[in-house]
Amino acid sequence: MTRSSFDKAQGDAVPTIETLDLCKNFGTLEVLKKVSFQAHEHQVVSIIGASGSGKSTFLRCLNFLEQPTRGEIRFKGRRLAVDGAQMPDQKDIERLRCSAGMVFQQFNLWSHWTVLENVTKVPVHVYGVPRKEAEERAIDLLASVGLSEKRDSYPAALSGGQQQRVAIARALAVNPELLLFDEPTSALDPELVGEVLSVIRSLTEQGRTMIVVTHEMGFAREVSDRVVFFHNGQIEEDGPPDETMRNPRSPKLAAFLKSAR
């Protein structure tokens, strides 16, 4: 592409992130089917649904960890268009990724670096933050997730819950405008789930904009401004958590919630 695919949109209350008719195919398998979605500043959106419904694929498409097949993604009104083989400019994708921190299911920490190094490497080596400044911020972030004493430890010496809390601190290290969580507790033993959910809950209290793919129904009901239910690659229902989860309009959502109890 010869010019940037970012086109500044006009108007008030522009969503932090938005998709328009977003599609994703893996070969002949249609995983996402014209998904249109919005999340606004300071909003917490939980995405729920059965395994294979497309929710994690959707989240990964938001920062192009998976390349959508077609449709649009808009970040703060700036447009990234996808049409078959033609993708947005790589610089535009990197700009989006700079602003959208991601926390994965499997932690994805670098095993040969200490906890402190895991949190500081990206700010220093990717974004050019001075090392001292990055380390000071990392120390503050590790304190905020209850891991000050683990700064010199290696990931192998940590529990799964501790590793995921380090991963959250790492995502926060570049001060993203949007946080994406892909099933952040699914790889944890049940007794460790609560400590990670507690950290995420504290982030909602700070007013951060977050999209959380989760199977924790109670957590989704408690912390979310909206709950979005994916079914068969589409948004089946979207609304406030009390209304959506207590009195679902969709029989498919009602059946899912019953099975999730």
Domain assignments of the chain as residue spans, ordered by start:
17-260
Contacts of 29 (CB under 8 A, 6+ apart): none
More reliable by pLDDT, 87 or 223: 223
pLDDT score of 209 more than 80: yes
pLDDT in tens, 11-22: 458 999 999 999
Predicted TM-score (pTM) of this structure: 0.90
At residue 90 the predicted structure's pLDDT band, cuts being 50, 70 and 90, is confident
pLDDT at 133: 96
Position 200, amino acid: I
pLDDT at 148: 96
pLDDT at 12: 57
For residue 222, count other CB atoms closer than 10 A to its CB.
Answer: 13
pLDDT in tens, 74-86: 999 888 877 765 6
| Extended beta strands in the chain, E state | 17-26, 29-39, 44-48, 70-75, 78-83, 100-103, 178-182, 210-213, 226-231, 234-239
For residue 155, count other CB atoms closer than 10 A to its CB.
Answer: 20
Average pLDDT, the chain: 91
Of 11, 28, 56, 31, the C-alpha closest to 211 is: 56
For residue 164, count other CB atoms closer than 10 A to its CB.
Answer: 29
Which range is least confidently modeled, 55-69, 91-105, 247-261? 91-105
Pairwise CA distance, residues 86 & 240, whole Å: 36
Secondary structure (DSSP) of 120-177: HHHHHHTT---HHHHHHHHHHHHHHTT-GGGTT--GGGS-HHHHHHHHHHHHHTT--S
Contact 231, 50 (CB under 8 A): yes
pLDDT at 33: 97
Of 187, 227, 197, the C-alpha closest to 104 is: 187
**Architecture of the 17-260 domain:** 3-Layer(aba) Sandwich (3.40)
